[in-house]
Amino acid sequence: MALSSTGYVVLGMLALGPRSGYDIKQLADVSTRHFWAISYGQIYPELSRLAKAGLVKAEDASRGTRHRTIYHLTDPGRRLLKAWVANPELEKIEIRDEMLLKLFFADAMSRKDTVRHLDAMRRRHEEIAAGLRETEPMAASQPHRMKYEVLKFGVALHEWCADWYSKLGRDLQSEWRAGNDV
């Protein structure tokens, strides 16, 4: 019974307590999103699969005519999640960065445009870091240490990226001002 990583995300969110598909999405959007985004189009079908496999259990939580289903982990679900987390296999890491792609192909670009592009990249990472920092109070106040550490990693990572692009832009400019035609 091999689950997709997204399946484990759903399981993991339910390990924090019973919630609806909607809740899972909201929670993922302020926590795992910066390194593992998920959408409704994955969540709802995944919940059905997990329920069919007996890893989660659905429970009706409708309020009046407004229907709502909350899911909770079953024992097998909790065991499977734990086994996955503890398995030290080298899992995949993947980055897709279109702006970096443009920078890679930017050799024919004008100096002005290159600097502008680097500035946009800096700004982009600063914005991501700022967005993450907003969730910091929430992450700091809950008892899950690793979740907080992962958030701090995200903030630090994007700040580091912003600094790197900022520095490259400055270096290139001073180099160009010095008249070195590289």
Partner DNA sequence: TCCTTCATGTAACTAGTTACATGATTAT
Partner DNA sequence: ATAATCATGTAACTAGTTACATGAAGGA
Rounded to whole angstroms, the Cα distance separating 133 from 3 reads 31
Using CB under 7 A as the binding rule, whether residue 21 contacts DNA is answered as yes
Using CB under 7 A as the binding rule, whether residue 40 contacts DNA is answered as yes
In the three-class reduction of DSSP (H, G, I as helix; E, B as strand; rest coil), residue 127 is classed as: helix
Using CB under 7 A as the binding rule, whether residue 22 contacts DNA is answered as yes
- Choose from its own copies, DNA, none: what does 134 bind? Cβ within 5-8 Å by kind: none
Enumerate residues 80-119 that contact DNA by CB under 7 A.
96
Torsion of CA 152, 168, 125, 35, to 10 degrees: -60
Closest separation in Å from C-beta 138 to its own copies: 14
Rounded to whole angstroms, the Cα distance separating 34 from 10 reads 16
Q: Please, which residue, 105 or 178, has the CB nearer to its own copies?
A: 105
Rounded to whole angstroms, the Cα distance separating 20 from 69 reads 6
Rounded to whole angstroms, the Cα distance separating 126 from 120 reads 10
Secondary structure element (H or E) that encloses residue 56, with its range: strand 56-60
User: Using CB under 7 A, which of 18, 29, 42, 168 touches DNA?
Assistant: 42
Q: In this structure, what DSSP letter does residue 169 have? A: H
Q: Which residues bind its own copies (CB under 8 A)?
A: 5, 8-9, 12, 15, 31-32, 34-37, 81-82, 84-88, 90-109, 113-114, 116-117, 120, 124, 128, 144-147, 149-150, 153, 156-157, 160-161, 164, 168, 182
User: Using CB under 7 A, which of 8, 15, 16, 20 touches DNA?
Assistant: 20
User: Using CB under 7 A, which of 1, 52, 66, 180 touches DNA?
Assistant: 66
Rounded to whole angstroms, the Cα distance separating 48 from 76 reads 16
What pairs with residue 60 in β-bridges?
Answer: 69
User: Using CB under 7 A, which of 63, 112, 145, 177 touches DNA?
Assistant: 63
Applying CB under 7 A, the residues found at the interface with DNA are 4-6, 20-23, 26, 37-42, 44-45, 47-48, 63-70, 96
